[in-house]
Amino acid sequence: MDKLPKIALPVVFAIILLIILISKSAITIGSGEAGVLYQTFGGGVVTEKPPLGEGFHLVAPWNKVYVYEVRRQEIFEKMKVLSSNGLDIQLDASAWYKPDIVNLGKLHQEIGEDYLQRIILPTIRSAARSVVGRYTPEQLYSSKRDAIQREIFEETKKIVDKQFIVLDEILVRDVTLPPTIKDAIERKLKQEQESLEYEFRLVTAEKEAERQRIEAQGKADANKILSASLTDKILQDKGIEATLELAKSPNSKVVVVGSGDDGLPLILGNN
């Protein structure tokens, strides 16, 4: 009985130590996350092996695991940039990005967990300044927004692809011009629209006048051809045919053949 406490004490101590070691060694990687293993006595960041996937892991207590979100993420950014003629433009954009999970160890080793601040945002800002500086405010306001978005994405992607980052898309959500410039552009666009509408009306009127002229000329030509083809003999034959058809009707009448001035039948009475 006297020896029991002496034996139990080391056992209890060992159990406590084991619990501490397990708690320090147990790592749980959540959904949409991956872990980069840092081996304190084994060469630092592990880059040759895939990162730790989702679920429960046991690592040596003297090692460390850095957890990264590997799902697609979105960042919003408001930027002040200059147009080609030096005017201040506010650009509202967002980017869809995620770390390259295959090279997650290299990303952690060479850039670190704050890769968003170190790489993505500075690159987007630089690309936005470069691209917007090629365009006038009028182009930014109207026709070139899609082109600007595409060019910013392409310039940013060329850089971040080499930094173990996957850039899915950059969206230009709004372009804000100085109020005076915006008003001037809107007035100019309205005037251009009115001018196009006036030109359209002129063209439509000219086409309608041409159509009527062609139609009238066609009728005149048809009448001319018809008049040239009608002879007295044809007219007499047509008149006789019409008279005979009329004489067949049930109404009582008197038909005097050859009594007209032109020799056509003369119909008397129609009761």
124-135 pLDDT tens trace: 999 999 999 998
Residues in the chain with pLDDT < 50?
1, 4, 259
pLDDT of residue 183: 66
How many other CB atoms are found less than 10 A from the CB of residue 8? 10
Identify residue 258 by its one-letter amino acid code.
G
Which residues are paired to 76 by β-bridges? 94
Tokens of 113: 């967990």
Give DSSP secondary structure letters for 195-237.
HHHHHHHHHHHHHHHHHHHHHHHHHHHHHHHHHHH--HHHHHH
Classify 68 as helix, strand or coil: strand
pLDDT of residue 252: 52
- The closest alpha carbon to 177, from 72, 257, 41, 80, belongs to 80
No. of helices (H) and no. of strands (E), the chain: 8, 10
pLDDT of residue 231: 63
H or E element at residue 159: helix 145-160
Give DSSP secondary structure letters for 63-89.
SEEEEEE-S-EEEEEEEEEE-TTS-EE
In this predicted model, what pLDDT tens digit does every residue of 179-222 receive, in sequence order?
Answer: 777 666 666 766 666 677 767 777 887 888 888 888 888 877 77
Sequence-distant (≥ 6) Cβ neighbours of residue 129 within 8 angstroms: 79, 81, 82
pLDDT of residue 88: 87
CA angle 69, 71, 73 (to 5 degrees): 90
Return the half-sphere exposure (C-beta side, CA atoms, 13 A cut-off) of residue 251: 10
User: What distance in Å separates the CA atoms of residue 105 and residue 111, rounded to the nearest whole number?
Assistant: 10
Q: For each of the domains in the chain, give its residue range(s) and CATH number, in order of start.
A: 4-69 (no CATH), 73-182 (3.30.479.30), 235-268 (no CATH)
Sequence-distant (≥ 6) Cβ neighbours of residue 262 within 8 angstroms: 232, 235, 236, 239
Residue 60: burial class (beta carbons within 10 Å; 0-12, 13-18, 19+): middle
